[in-house]
Amino acid sequence: QVQLVESGGGLVQPGGSLRLSCAASGSITITIHIMRWYRQAPGKQRELVATISSGGSTNYADAVKGRFTISKETAKNTIYLQMNSLKPEDTAVYYCLGGGAWGQGTQVTVSS
């Protein structure tokens, strides 16, 4: 079974930074899959935040472009989302998606 485990969320003030991690295991190698970060705020639809291809190309939602960076560390089979200049509207549960599986999510709260 494919397993994705997100971590790194927490409470941060506006303008601060967080790095989220998504550790993959169980018959998935991130090198050969498209991996994505989504987020979902209460009462809202889950939205795509960032994508990284098997070849390393990236894409971002307009709302986070220039502030967030998606990357991968193949030796650890892990995807990262570096989030800078955080805004209150970034508050959501963040999920990774790959190999047809979702992680459990990690809460990010941006508040003063």
Convert the pLDDT of each residue in 77-96 to its tens digit.
999 999 999 999 999 999 99
Counting beta carbons within 10 angstroms of the beta carbon of residue 18, is it exposed (0 to 12), middle (13 to 18) or buried (19 or more)?
buried
The pLDDT of residue 83 is: 98
Beta-carbon contacts of residue 66 (< 8 Å; ≥ 6 apart): none
Q: Would you say how long the chain is, in residues?
A: 112
Residue 111: name the closest of 11, 40, 9, 5 by CA: 11
The pLDDT of residue 110 is: 98
Which is more confidently placed, 1 or 71?
Answer: 71
Res. 32: pLDDT tops 90: no
Amino acid identity at 25: S
